Amino acid sequence: MKYLWDIIFSVTFSVLIGLGLWWLYATGRFEHDAPVLDLVLMSLAIWRLIRLVTYDHVTDILRDSFAASGEGTIGSTLKSLIECPWCSGLWASAIVVFAYYATPFSWPVILILALAAVGSFLQIFANLVGWYAEGEKHEVKVAKKEDPLTE
């Protein structure tokens, strides 16, 4: 019984993927070759969605709502799905790829998520540079205090 909801979600995911692909093929919307830029933008959008669902403060309420779920319940499966970047990544990938092929209206959302991902990468890089510079300053201060000639 412990893994019942895990199995149900896995089967549901597989069925949704199958139905989504069938619908995209049946309506002639699925193209096998997406431009490289679109693949890059979709990848960035997926990364941003994963971060949004799994780690960002703004979705704490979503994660916290399943915190007290007992083991083997639908809540514990949803909690695991939301807190696992690899699990939520599969769902995010399916949603982004389906939306990309299903409607041109998804393009602005994908673009916004992709640009937010680039902004996140730039912020992380700026933080790393700042932390490195602060570390270097600290080392210089420590070295000056240890040098008897500077006292």
Domain that holds residue 94: 4-150
DSSP state of 32: S
Asked if 133 and 127 touch (Cβ cutoff 8 Å), the reply is: no
Predicted TM-score (pTM) of the model is: 0.80
Tens of pLDDT, residue by residue over 4-58, are 898 999 999 999 999 999 999 999 998 878 899 999 999 999 999 999 999 999 9
Q: By three-state DSSP, how is residue 65 classified?
A: coil
* Predicted pLDDT at 136: 85
Tens of pLDDT, residue by residue over 83-141, are 999 999 999 999 999 999 999 999 999 999 999 999 999 999 999 999 988 888 888 88
Tally of domains within the chain: 1
User: What average pLDDT does the chain have?
Assistant: 90
